[in-house]
Each structure stands twice: as C-alpha cells, then as structure tokens.
C-alpha cells in the first residue's frame, strides 16, 4: 500500500496565509523607501511653492532686517544681502524656478517626442531633413545658444520658456527617434500598416505606449537639467530679473556671504539639490514598475 506524500508547501505562503496572486502583485508594486522619500521631498517642496502667498512669513521683496542677519525667531533662515527674509525668498524663488522648469520641460518633451516619432515612422527625406536640422542646433553649446537669444530678445518669461524649451527638445528628439526606430520595425507595427492605419494611429496606439519607460526617464532627467539650466542663467544674471526671486540669482546675490562663513547662498543650492534628488528617486521607482513582470507572469 502506497503512503500518500504531502505536497510541498511554500514557506512564504505558510507565513502569510491567504496571500493570492493579486496580493503578491500589490506587494511587488509597493513603493520602496527611496521612492517614498523622493515623493515626500517633491510633495513638501511643491506644496510650499504653491502655497507661498499664504504660508510665507513675509512678502517676496519685504525688508525685515539687516544684511545677512543670523537665523532667529523673526526669520528662521536669516536674511539675504538686502535684509529680506531668506525663507520667503526661497518659496517665491521656487515658484519661478520650478514653475518655469515644469512648463519648459512639458514643451520640450511634447515637441521633441512628436518630431522624433514622426521622423522615425515616416523615414526617408523627412527623417534626413529633420535630423540634419537637429544636428545644426546640437552643434552649438546649449548655454551659448541661450545666451545669444536672451541677450537679443531679453530675459522675459515667455522668451525664457520658448528658448529653453526649443533647445531641450533637441535632446528629447534624439531619444524619441532612437526608441521609435526600434519599435517601428516590429511586427505589430507592420500589421497596423497593412490594416491601413494612419500615421497618428501608429504613433499614438502602437509606438507611444511601448516607448513610455525611456520617455519617462528622459522627462525626469530633462526636468532636472532645466532646473539647473534656469539656475545657471539666473546666476549669470540672464534669468528671472529682480526684484523677483529665483534660486540661481539668490546664489549669486548672496555669494559674498561665504567670505563671512554664512550659509545664505547654500540654502537655494540645497533646494536645487533636494528637488533633483527627489525627482530622480521617483523616476527610478516608476521605471522599476515598468520593468517588473505583469500580474499574469507573477501567477505562474
């Protein structure tokens, strides 16, 4: 008489009874600690920036004390080179820097992605002409191009957004075109062409969904680069003009405080670094979600 052998048990399932496939999927998709830290940094900074008119201690250009007063009850981070509250200036400077960077990044990603997809999908002389025009723009360093345009047209916000958006779109174009060229030769795209689908359908329904992971990464990197670019222009005096605040000009205005061992120029620099780190941590988590297997794969 044969003795029945008990089926092997899964230790994980024994320790967590009733854990089905959907629960395992939720466990795999739970944000890691790094993503939560990054999201927390971004949420706190964006909330402070948006709510600056209501939660800032003072007005943006209000004088409250002497030059580079130390932190105290009246001014938590001290004052700047003109006696204005540093915390208030950081909040309003973030509204200008991050707001312009967000709009500029959106323009660059949409424009660069659309042109890159069209070039890769249509091909032929369209691809050659568009790529050569992009090569001409890329042959000139970005900072020099921006300096030439801003010195001629001025440093108004629309000119700043249009100039940086166009220059950064060339970088997005290269990534979008490379990704789309790889996807455009796949069988499902060929089937769509045989069905008689138009260019808009192929780009929007076939190429774009499969190109999202690299585009998400590029959008996150582009946003960080645009923030640094705007801060660099502000440090050179070609960004947001006084008395409006931005993080780059705040570093320049308070640079001399370093000679007196004061932290005034380090506050806006730390804000730029914190925002960049937070955005990168969130983007890394989003990319890891795309890289994970689907729920059907986890069930097997």
Quote the pLDDT of residue 170. 93
144 found inside a domain: yes
Rounded to whole angstroms, how far apart are CA atoms 227 and 247?
9
Residue 12 tokens, joined? 């994980």
Q: How far apart are CA 64 and CA 79, in angstroms?
A: 8
d(CA 192, CA 254): 59
Compute, in degrees rounded to 10, the torsion defined by CA atoms 290, 110, 160, 129: 120
Q: What's the average model confidence in pLDDT over 17-35?
A: 62
Q: What is the pLDDT of residue 296?
A: 40
Range of the domain at 285: 33-292
Report pLDDT digits (tens) over 260-274. 888 999 999 999 999
Classify residue 205: in a domain, yes or no: yes
7 or 200: which leads in pLDDT: 200
Residue 142 falls inside a structural domain: yes
Does the residue 25 lie in any domain? no
**What does the alpha-carbon distance between residue 187 and residue 193 come to, in Å, rounded to a whole number?**
10
Q: How confident is the model at residue 145 (pLDDT cuts 50, 70, 90)?
A: confident
Could you give the number of structural domains in the chain?
1
Q: Is residue 160 part of a domain?
A: yes
Q: Residue 300 — very low, low, confident or very high, per pLDDT cuts 50/70/90?
A: very low
> Average model confidence (pLDDT) for the chain?
84
HEC-encoded secondary structure of the chain: CCCCCCCCCCHHHHHCCCCCHHHHHHHHCCCCHHHHHHHHHHHHHHHHHHCHHHHCCCCCCCECCCCCCCCCCCCCCCECCCCEEHHHHHHHHHHHHHHHHHHHHHHHHHHHHHHHHHHHHHCHHHHHHHHHHHHHHHCCCHHHHHHHHHHHHCCCHHHHHHHHHHHHHHHHHHHHHHHHHHHHCCHHHHHHHHCCCCHHHHHHHHHHHHHHHHHHHHHHHHHHHHHHHHHHHHHHCCCCCCCCCCHHHHHHHCHHHHHHCCCCCHHHHHHHHHHHHHHHHHHHHHHHHHHCCCHHHHHC
Going by pLDDT thresholds of 50, 70 and 90, the confidence category of residue 195 is confident
Q: How much is the pTM?
A: 0.82
Query: Helix 157-184 and helix 86-122: axis angle, to 10°?
Result: 40
**Residue 232 domain-assigned (yes or no):** yes
- Provide the token pair at 91: 């909040």
Residues 259-266: contacts with CB within 8 Å, 24+ apart? 260/68, 262/68, 262/70, 262/78, 263/78, 264/68, 264/78, 264/80, 264/81, 264/86
Phi, psi of 155 (to 5 degrees): -105, 35
At 15 the pLDDT is 44
In a domain, residue 277? The reply is: yes
CATH number of the structural domain spanning residue 122:
1.10.3720.10
Q: Is residue 11 part of a domain?
A: no
pLDDT for residue 289 is more than 90: no
CB 246 within 8 A of CB 254: no
59-98 tens-digit pLDDT? 988 999 889 999 988 899 999 999 999 999 999 999 999 9
């Amino acid at each position: 008489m044969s003795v029945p052998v008990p089926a092997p048990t899964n230790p994980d399932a024994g320790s967590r009874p009733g854990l089905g496939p959907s629960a395992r999927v939720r466990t795999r998709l739970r944000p890691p600690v790094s993503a939560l830290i990054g999201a927390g940094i971004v949420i706190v900074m964006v909330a402070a920036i948006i709510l600056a008119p209501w939660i800032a201690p003072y007005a943006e250009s209000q004088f409250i004390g002497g030059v580079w007063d130390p932190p105290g009850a009246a001014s938590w981070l001290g004052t700047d080179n003109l006696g204005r509250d540093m915390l208030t200036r950081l909040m309003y400077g973030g509204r200008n820097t991050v707001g312009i960077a967000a709009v500029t990044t959106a323009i660059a990603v949409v424009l660069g992605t659309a042109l890159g997809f069209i070039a890769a999908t249509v091909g032929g002389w369209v691809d050659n002409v568009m790529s050569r025009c992009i090569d001409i723009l890329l042959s000139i360093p970005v900072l020099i191009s921006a300096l030439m345009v801003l010195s001629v047209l001025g440093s108004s916000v629309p000119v700043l957004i249009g100039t940086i958006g166009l220059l950064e779109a060339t970088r997005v174009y290269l990534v979008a075109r490379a990704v789309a060229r790889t996807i455009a030769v796949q069988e499902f795209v060929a089937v769509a062409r045989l069905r008689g689908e138009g260019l808009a359908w192929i780009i929007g329904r076939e190429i774009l969904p499969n190109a999202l992971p690299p585009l998400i990464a590029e959008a996150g990197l582009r946003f960080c680069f645009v923030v640094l670019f705007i801060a660099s222009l502000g440090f050179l005096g070609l960004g947001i003009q006084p008395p409006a605040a931005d993080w780059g000009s705040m570093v320049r205005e308070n640079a001399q405080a370093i000679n007196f061992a004061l932290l005034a120029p380090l506050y806006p620099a730390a804000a730029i670094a914190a925002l960049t780190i937070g955005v990168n941590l969130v983007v890394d988590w989003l990319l890891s979600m795309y890289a994970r297997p689907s729920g059907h794969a986890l069930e097997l």
